[in-house]
Structure 1
Amino acid sequence: MRFFFRGMENQIIFIPIMKASIRQLRYFLIPYTLLFVISLTLKIIFTREEIYFFINGLHFPAGDVIFRYATEMGGATTAVSLVLILLFVRYRYSLLLASSYLLTSLINFPLKYIVGAPRPKLYFTDSPKTIYWVPDVEVLSNHFSFPSGHTVCAFTTAVVLTFISPRRWYGCIYFLLAVMVAYSRMYLSQHFFEDVTAGSFEAVVVVTCWITWFNNRAFFRHPAWEGALSRKNDDE
Structure 2
Amino acid sequence: MKYLKQFIREKSVLFLLVPFLFGILFLLIGYGKGPSHLLVNQWNSPLMDTFFKYITYLGDGAVFALVIFVLAFVRFRWALYELMAALMTLIFVFITKQILFNGMPRPTKYFENQETLHLVEGVKMHSWNSFPSGHTITAFAIFMILVLVVKNKYLKLLFVMIAILAGYSRVYLSQHFLGDIFSGAIIGSLIAVCSCALVDAMGIFKKATWIDKNLSQLFGKKHEQ
Q: Same fold (TM over 0.5)?
A: yes
1:77-125 per-position Cα deviation (integer Å, ceiling 9, x unaligned):
2221111111111222111101112112211221112113111111111
CA contact 2:108–2:117 (8 Å) conserved in 1: no
2:194 to 209, 212, 220: 209
Who is 2:205 aligned against?
220
Could you say what secondary structure the match of 2:211 adopts? Answer: helix
Who is 1:94 aligned against?
79
Matching of residue 77 in structure 1 with residue 65 in structure 2: no
1:154 positional shift: 0.5
Could you say what secondary structure the match of 1:223 adopts? Answer: coil
1:37 positional shift: 2.8
1:228 positional shift: 1.7
Could you say what secondary structure the match of 1:189 adopts? Answer: coil
2:111 to 115, 124, 136: 124
Q: Taking structure 1 as reference, are residues 205 and 61 closer, same or farther at Cα in structure 2, changes over 3 Å only? A: same
* % same residue: 25
Choose 88-97 or 149-158, whichever is displaced more.
88-97
1:219 positional shift: 3.2
1:42 positional shift: 2.2
RMSD after superposition: 1.9
Q: Which runs of 5+ in 1 are unaligned?
A: 1-14
Map 1:153-232 to 2 at 5 A. 153-221=138-206, 222-232=208-218
- Give the partner amino acid of 1:193: L
1:171 positional shift: 2.0
Number of residue pairs matched by the alignment: 218
CA contact 2:33–2:178 (8 Å) conserved in 1: yes
1:114-154 per-position Cα deviation (integer Å, ceiling 9, x unaligned):
11311111111121x22221111111122x11000010010
Look at both structures and tell me which one has the larger radius of gyration over its CA atoms: 1
1:168 positional shift: 4.4
**Rounded Cα–Cα distance in structure 2 between residues aligned with 1:132 and 1:18:** 40
**Rounded Cα–Cα distance in structure 1 between residues aligned with 2:32 and 2:201:** 43
**Rounded Cα–Cα distance in structure 2 between residues aligned with 1:176 and 1:60:** 20
Q: Which runs of 5+ in 2 are unaligned?
A: none
Q: Taking structure 1 as reference, are residues 43 and 63 closer, same or farther at Cα in structure 2, changes over 3 Å only? A: same
1:17-54 per-position Cα deviation (integer Å, ceiling 9, x unaligned):
3565336x613432323332332232111111221111
TM-score (norm: length of structure 1):
0.84
1:208 positional shift: 1.4
**Rounded Cα–Cα distance in structure 1 between residues aligned with 2:4 and 2:168:** 30
Matching of residue 32 in structure 1 with residue 17 in structure 2: yes
